[in-house]
Amino acid sequence: KAGVTQTPRYLIKTRGQQVTLSCSPISGHRSVSWYQQTPGQGLQFLFEYFSETQRNKGNFPGRFSGRQFSNSRSEMNVSTLELGDSALYLCASSFSGTETDTQYFGPGTRLTVL
Amino acid sequence: KNQVEQSPQSLIILEGKNCTLQCNYTVSPFSNLRWYKQDTGRGPVSLTIMTFSENTKSNGRYTATLDADTKQSSLHITASQLSDSASYICVVRTGTYKYIFGTGTRLKVLA
């Protein structure tokens, strides 16, 4: 069974630009969550989608948005990039996102903002 | 404020030795506590998930404990191997679909 895939793996952008990251969950998984990981803040929860609906959102500004498609693939978008957005963006999928559902993480997209 | 604190920040041990990592949390409402292993440059991998009523869970050489009264958890690694070198992250799920992450313990196992 293929794991969670994220594209692209590496991205370099400049301040003010926007970026779209993609995540393909494990086949059959309907819940996709996104996280930001930085050396200073560690891992932080961005949002979670299930069946094309956002179920919860972390404490990030509105510049961070996402969506999920009918095939469970998900994208996240960051507009008006800031230097502080440089981070590893991880997505994780699970079957239903219920309480004890195991999350499977992808390898991440490393975003560098210059 | 919901917080998860881990100690130590980093740890160096010799191959074959045991070690214990600590996690203290002040998260409400509590749903479950998870431990993840993250190798450098890779996404985290789930080790254990414990709910309020569980106080011990094992996954091979990894054993996690949970004391819901004191809001403390530990991850014990037995007979460490070089491949155990990684960051170990404690995560508490709170309420509905929200996760609070600790900053991790970076473990280095030396031959």
Structure tokens at B75: 């991850």
**Residue (of A87, A59, A52) closest to A73 by Cα position:** A52
What is the pLDDT, as a whole number, of residue A96?
Answer: 81
What is the pLDDT, as a whole number, of residue B94?
Answer: 85
What is the pLDDT, as a whole number, of residue B51?
Answer: 92
Question: For all residues of chain A together, what is the average pLDDT?
Answer: 94
Measured CA to CA, the distance from residue B106 to residue B77 in angstroms comes to 13
Point out which residues pair with A34 in neighbouring strands.
Answer: A47, A91
Share above pLDDT 70 across residues of chain B, in percent, rounded to a whole number: 98
**Cβ pair B49:A92 closer than 8 A:** no
Tell me the pLDDT tens digit for each residue of A3-21. Answer: 999 999 999 999 999 999 9
Contacts of residue A102, defined as CB under 8 A and 6 or more positions apart, other chains included, come to A94, B46, B49
- Tell me the shortest Cα–Cα distance from B46 to chain A, in angstroms: 7
Tell me the pLDDT tens digit for each residue of B2-28. Answer: 899 999 999 999 999 999 999 999 988
Chain A contacts of B103, Cβ < 8 Å? 42
Measured CA to CA, the distance from residue B4 to residue B26 in angstroms comes to 6
Sign of CA dihedral A67, A68, A69, A75: positive
**In this complex, which of A48, A97, A105 lies closest to B43 when CB atoms are compared?**
A105
Chain A contacts of B45, Cβ < 8 Å? 105
**In this complex, which of A44, A55, A107 lies closest to B43 when CB atoms are compared?**
A107
Q: Determine if residue B60 is left, alpha or beta; phi over 0 gives left, psi from -120 to 50 gives alpha, anything else beta.
A: left
DSSP, collapsed to helix, strand or coil, labels residue B82 as: helix
Q: Determine if residue B89 is left, alpha or beta; phi over 0 gives left, psi from -120 to 50 gives alpha, anything else beta.
A: beta
pLDDT of B95 higher than 80:
no
